[in-house]
Amino acid sequence: THFGFKEVPESLKESLVGSVFTSVSPKYDVLNDSMSLGVHRLWKDSFVSALLPKLPPSMHSPTGDKEWQPSFRCLDVAGGTGDIALRILDRAREKYGNRDVQVEIVDLNEGMLHEGVKRVAQTMYYNTPQIKFTHGNAQSLPTHIADNSIDLYTIAFGIRNCTSLPAVLSEAYRVLKPGGRLGVLEFGKVSNPLFREFYKQWSFSVIPLMGQILAGDRDSYQYLVESIEKFPTYKKQASKSEKCEKEVLGQIIRTGFALSGEA
Ligand code: SAM
């Protein structure tokens, strides 16, 4: 049965999101490039460069050193095929000569994680403690991720798919070290009226059609477009989060950060 995302009850959202990403995972990276005309790469580059602080160069080799401890721990939640995680590792290495930074990717969908593992196998990070894939839910992170253990928590194009924003934030708060950073990358709304019209045509006509032609799956891409439409603007979200921080999280000492790609 096809039903629009807007009509889906919250209790069914998680399983719908699960089937959407299982269906799109084999072609996820190619489709991201086609549907955003490559622009998602720029958003992700600027997200990572804004969030990653200056790191010291590596003191230890990440391979074969039993005493090795990561100096900077990142958690990329809803990390999918590893786009953000790989950018963090590349930037740390290229800009700071750092190969100690460690990223753990947590995602609800095993198909997406599987594509990510295949992708990392083609990189120098394969089989090193620098990258790890974990099956898990943003709303209730795996318990091996200890309280106050994470320096940088990122969630890119993932938070709008989660059923409970307060649960995601409260888990982020639990695992972040005091002074750690939270980075959320999500779609915004287009404010320019001319561009808004172009975006409307692009997202409601072209994207589902591309999904149908390139991935044989129109419905999943229809869902993605509708979920972007339904998600509040980051300004609204920020004021809600402020309230949320006060009510749910108590005293906030972590750095909040929000970026919005204007699709
Ligand atoms: N962060 C990646 C990127 O920017 O390319 C992937 C984004 S993809 C649009 C959204 C991801 O969120 C999917 O891989 C999906 O499985 C994951 N996801 C959805 N709900 C989740 C949840 N509650 N916990 C963890 N991951 C979730």
Per-residue pLDDT of the chain (263 residues; tens, 9 = 90+): 344 444 556 667 788 788 888 888 888 888 888 888 888 999 999 999 999 999 988 765 556 555 555 579 999 999 999 999 999 999 999 999 999 999 999 999 999 999 999 999 999 999 999 999 999 999 999 999 999 999 999 999 999 889 998 999 999 999 999 999 999 998 877 778 888 888 888 888 888 888 888 878 888 888 888 888 877 765 665 555 554 443 333 333 333 334 333 32
Read off the amino acid at residue 137.
N
Is residue 112 within 6 Å of ligand 1 at its C-beta?
Answer: yes
Q: Where are the domains of the chain?
A: 38-188+231-261
Q: Tell me, what's the pLDDT at 221?
A: 82
Whether residue 101 contacts residue 128, with contact meaning beta carbons closer than 8 Å, is answered with: no
Ligand 1 pocket test, candidate residues 32, 109, 170, most atoms within 8 A of CB: 109
Strand partners, 259: 185
Instruction: Quote the DSSP letter at residue 115.
Output: H
Smallest CA-to-CA distance from 99 within 130, 127, 69, 124 is with: 130
**pLDDT at position 58:** 78
Closest CA to 159 of 3, 15, 17, 12: 17
| Residue 149: both structure tokens together | 């253990």
ipTM summary value? 0.99
What's this model's pTM, rounded to 2 decimal places?
A: 0.82
Ligand 1 pocket, residue 23 CB under 6 Å: no
Q: What is the pLDDT of residue 5?
A: 44
CA 107 to centroid of ligand 1, rounded, Å: 6
- CA-to-CA dists, residue 7 to 139, 158, 164, 167, 208, angstroms: 22, 20, 17, 22, 18
Centre of ligand 1 to C-alpha 80, Å, is: 5
> 38-188+231-261 maps to which CATH number?
3.40.50.150
Residue 191: its pLDDT value, please?
Answer: 79
pLDDT at 62: 56
